[in-house]
Structure 1
Amino acid sequence: MVSLLVISTGAMSSLTLAAPWQDDHRPVRYHEKHRMGPPDGHYSRSHHKQDVRQWHRGDRLPPHFREKRYRVDNWRAHHLPRPPHGHRWVNVNGDYILVAVASGIITSILLHH
């Protein structure tokens, strides 16, 4: 009998605590202003983490950045030093990265050159 009394008391107190939240009569505009995200539901690029990659010498450049579209074949026109034998310049978002062709290891970096 005592356990039934304890359970019913606990259930009633939880209902009492929930009561103020069940009938939220604040204006709709309150909810529009206080929800997560921008008002129109669309996120601009500035709300997302930027795709900023920090290059480090000794790291391996991901294979898709070693594709032909990133290669800098005319290094003189870009005012870059001649790449050593077995190396190639690539341009990723304005950063010039000297990469070992065989391994993809970054040997030099010129940021926003």
Structure 2
Amino acid sequence: MPDADIEKYPDIVAFGLHITDEMRGEMLDHFAGIVDAANKGEPPALDLDKWLFLDYKRTVSLSLSEDEVEALRRKVAAIMRSNLPDWKKRGPAEALADIERIRAEAKPEEAESQTKEAA
């Protein structure tokens, strides 16, 4: 930018982010892990913090095994006992309630077919 423009617009500041080789390596390792899990057919564990914006709530809820749901229950119970603020506790608790509601509303044969399709 020419000096005249800098004087004319003093509030505009350009910010840059220097990406190091270590940062690049971490990002590539992250994506390599995703590709490896996809090739093995191993879905990632459900992140209850991202439940609100998940587009496939019904499919995910019905594809969870009873062991996975129980693990989510234990995780939510631990979160509820923690010293986290209430607004951080609310999201996982509501997500688990949604999962249990969806699973309860589903017909048993539909839940079974969803589990088979996910496998």
TM-score by length of 2: 0.25
Question: Which of the two has higher C-alpha Rg?
Answer: 1
Which structure has more relative contact order (CA 8 Å, sep 6+)? It is: 2
TM-score by length of 1: 0.26
Structure richer in helix, relative to its length: 2
